Structure 1
Amino acid sequence: MLLCVTANHKTAPFDLLERLSRTPEDLAGSLSETSRGAVVLATCNRFEAYVDVDGPSADADVRRILDIVAERSGIEADILHASSTVHSGPRVVEHLFSVASGLESVVSGEGEIAGQVRRALSSARKHGTTSPELERLFQRASEAQRKVKNDTALGRAGRSLVRLALELADSRIADWSAARVLLVGTGAYAAVTLATLRERGAQDVSVHSPSGRGAAFAAKHGIRSLPAAEYPRAAANASIVITCTSAEEVLDAAILRAGRGPALAPVETAGCPVPGHAAGSGSAPSQLIIDLGMPRNVSPDVAGVEGVALLDLETIRLHAPLEELQATDAARSIVRAAAATFHEVGARESVTPAVVALRAHIFELLESEIDRARRRGDDGQVEQAMRHLAGVLLHTPTSRAHELAAQGRGSEFIAAVETLYGLTAETPAAQEPDAASA
């Protein structure tokens, strides 16, 4: 049975999600030690553990999963339990399909999550923690996501966190072409952020990398890289600072104050003064710092620096736009249909070994009787009649097996075959990953 334990932006505070985002890479391995397999999906807005467990009783497995996550993350078990939601059985499928399609994101339809789902499966494969059912689940989730993207307007209506953050910044930046922008980070989010900044007309963009990869990123994208020595002053004098790095707390109040210096006059950027210590008290915030990092890149104390406004993930979530209902409804219909197909195929597969065993048994008896008829001089008529009869006799139990499976009663058919014929159905070998999703 499939289980999903999730803590996300709807159930848990951001500081808890931040701590969960730092869980060890081998967490899936710990979860799979007493189960068939596990896949861990950790993003800036959610932490989810998908586990393929042995028995139909989920309570003990859920407690075990949460206890392992609590131990590995250092979060108190009671707090983790209170901030998590559990999905089991069929509900897991629709939930993951919805997640992969962006329906459960801070901004409905955001595109980054699809790649994160694929990478979660790739990581589990790398560490050998998947199971056949988890492979099938995550492969079909990617298929559902692509259908939602191609068949609905959700992807076009939905906006990424980066785009939404910059839309919120529009009210503070009078002229993007004159704005002085500092980008902290060089990963995928940084590239998306830079592209979105350029869409808005930003020209004066520099980058700083805590890990030292700024020069390569700057050369690739045609911007300026800032060495560590220049970083405090650049951060203090930028119109807008956007952080999106895996490093923790790369900016705090001390850095901003050090960059401004004791006698630094206000700096005019894009029509908004960025004040130094000499600025009068009570002035409206004129420097915007956007923290897109998880874990948090910016210390909350920067909000106490005069003239600074901090926009973090939690604030962005509060400003997420209303979903475009028509696109969202269409997307959810696709997700529900894909989940139903997943269950139908899975149900059929659950009885397939028993059907195969029954057919093999009947055909073995059939060939024996046909051989006897041939030895008695049969001219083919008896053989033809016997083969037809075998097909007729097998049709009803085969159809009934699929009907029972669709009703969730496949185990009854399997038990009947074992009881009546003494046949033990063998589970087919694990399927190889689909080429399209490998």
Structure 2
Amino acid sequence: MQLFALGMNHQTAPLALRERVVFAAERLQNALTEFVQAKAVREAAIVSTCNRTELYCASGEPGHALDWMAEYHRLKAQELRPYIYTLPQEKAVRHAFRVASGLDSMVLGEPQILGQMKQAVRAAESAGTLGTTLNRLFQRSFAVAKEVRSTTHIGASVVSMAAATVKLAARIFPRLAEQKVLFVGAGEMIELCATHFSAQHPRAVTFANRTLERAEGLAQRFGGTPLVLAKLPEALPEYDIVVSCTASSLPIIGKGLIERAVRVRRHRPVFMVDLAVPRDIEPEVGGLDDVFLYSLDDLAEVVREGLDVRQSAVVQAEAIIETQVDSFLHWMRLRDRVPLIRQLRETGEAARQAELERALRALARGDDPKAV
């Protein structure tokens, strides 16, 4: 059985395209089941994050996988093809190990991808599409990532997206303690951002979310105020800093909404960061006067800080990965030989049984035992 991986990431595709091929978490299991049934793939897992969408498959044809991905997202395969990488078995294994170890991340060495890959495995398990081969691949990926992090400095001086958001905000508002901050969403990234902003003691913090209960929990933790998302339009002009990261498939903050907010604010500047994929804030908002809008890709330069410290660990990490790739491929070769070994054993057993039966018949006829 052959492995392959197919996908796009922050290095090969712009955010405008990446956001169109995101697999929503609540639909991932159904998508996997549909993919396996439609394209005759024995095993499949999908890693879908802000910075990458990747299909890992055992057996099947990469071309069929691309066609399915395009069809699922209502796109044409030719739209995706220039941005897609297709990795055959050895390269797919190496890639999985590098991704899990943080070597392929926008933020070199960031640890969040490991948790995201584990979520992908759980989804594939629940969908019944994670077989022996892919399960082994991912479990080895997690083990390699652990070894890399424990024996190198790959995670040293990591500047996270959350920390980068605060650094950018400080460039617009040098005194963050005087600003009001609005967080839209209530997931892990918002929680991380709130942790970093709270260290700057902003004037006020508000959490807007569709589910008020979750917003209340974060507000209580960080000394803020909860807000139901439906009240966002009337509340928006109050805030100097807006950080948004929801799971919405469509933008929830439009250009018109921000235009009105800027007028109410009498053109006082507003700093906005959109950490969502697909994006929460319409890109056109960035063209408005007095609005400073940053997307995930815009944060790339900031998060590269500390790269020199971690770059020296990459060579050591790559050596660990190469050793583990060889080990995994050896396991794959042995596994591929199992059917042949089983067949040889069965053939030998059949021949032995046939010879035994022939001898017993000869003895029953009275033939000389020495001759038999």
TM range (shorter): 0.7 to 0.9
Gap runs ≥5 in structure 1: 55-60, 267-274, 277-285, 370-438
Contact 1:210 1:250 survives alignment (8 Å): no
Q: How do 1:351-430 residues align onto structure 2 when only pairs under 5 Å count?
A: 351-352=337-338
Aligned-partner SS, 2:206: strand
Q: Is the 8 A contact 2:22 2:48 kept in 1?
A: yes
Deviations 1:68-100 (A, max 9, x none): 111111111101112101001111101011111
**% identity of equivalent residues:** 26
CA distance in 2, matches of 1:265, 1:3: 53
What's the counterpart of residue 37 of structure 1? 43
CA distance in 2, matches of 1:144, 1:236: 48
Structure with greater contact order relative to length (CA < 8 Å, sep ≥ 6): 2
Report if aligned partners of 1:27, 1:40 keep a CA contact under 8 Å in 2: no
Matched, 1:316 2:299: yes
Q: Which residue of 2 aligns with 1:231?
A: 232
Displacement of 1:305 in angstroms is: 2.7
Return the match for 1:331 from 317, 342, 351.
Answer: 317
Q: Amino acid of the residue matched to residue 280 of structure 2?
A: N
In structure 2, what is the equivalent of residue 258 of structure 1? Answer: 260
Matched with 1:106 is: 106
Show CA shifts across 1:231-258 (max 9, x none).
2344223221100111232222322233
> What is the CA distance between 1:221 and its match in structure 2?
4.0
Give the structure 2 partner of residue 300 of structure 1: 283
Q: Which has the larger radius of gyration?
A: 1
Q: Distance in 2 between matches of 1:355 and 1:228?
A: 62
**Alignment CA distance shift 1:306-1:146 (3 Å):** same
CA distance in 2, matches of 1:35, 1:230: 46
After superposition, residues 275-286 of structure 1 pair within 5 angstroms as 275=267, 286=269
Give the letter for the 1:106 counterpart: M
Letter of the 1:195 partner, please give it.
Answer: T
1:6 partner SS:
strand
Question: How big is each residue's C-alpha offset from its partner over 1:180-218, in whole Å with a ceiling of 9 and x where there is no partner?
Answer: 111111011111111122234446211111344422432
Shift of 1:318: 4.7
For residue 144 of structure 1, report the CA deviation from its aligned partner: 1.1
Question: What SS does the aligned partner of 1:51 have?
Answer: strand
Residue type at the aligned position of 2:218? F
> Does the 8 Å contact 1:124/1:130 carry over to 2?
yes
Matched, 1:84 2:84: yes
The CA distance in 1 between the partners of 2:42 and 2:171, in whole Å, is 51
Using the alignment, how far apart are the partners of 1:150 and 1:232 within structure 2?
Answer: 47
Match of 2:328 in 1: 342
TM-score, normalised to structure 2's length?
Answer: 0.83
Output the CA distance in 2 between the equivalents of 1:149 and 1:233: 46
Q: Give the aligned partner of residue 58 of structure 1.
A: none
In the alignment, is the contact (CA less than 8 A) between 2:5 and 2:86 conserved in 1? yes
Backbone CA RMSD of aligned residues = 2.6
- Call closer, same or farther: CA 1:140–1:203 in 2, change over 3 Å: farther
Q: How far apart are the structure 1 equivalents of 2:52 and 2:230?
A: 35
Aligned mates of 2:80, 2:177 — CA distance in 1: 45
State the one-letter code of the partner of 1:304: G
Equivalent pair of 2:154/2:311 in contact (CA under 8 Å): no
1:294-313, Cα deviation, whole Å (9 max, x unpaired): 11011112223321110101
* Alpha-carbon offset, residue 110 of structure 1: 1.3
CA distance in structure 1 between the aligned counterparts of 2:204 and 2:327, rounded to whole angstroms: 51
Cα distance in structure 1, aligned partners of 2:183 and 2:237: 13
Is residue 176–residue 201 contact of structure 2 (8 Å, CA) maintained in 1? yes
Kindly tell me: are residues 330 and 235 of structure 1, through their superposed partners in 2, closer, same or farther at Cα, counting changes over 3 Å? farther
Question: Does the C-alpha gap of structure 1 residues 27 and 304 become closer, same or farther in structure 2, counting only changes over 3 Å?
Answer: same
Shift in CA distance, 203/113, structure 1 to aligned 2, threshold 3 Å? farther
SS at structure 1 position matched to 2:50: coil
Aligned mates of 2:231, 2:43 — CA distance in 1:
48
Does structure 2 conserve the Cα–Cα contact (< 8 Å) formed by 1:37 and 1:130?
A: yes
In structure 2, the gaps of 5 or more residues are 357-372
Q: Partner residue of 2:32?
A: 28
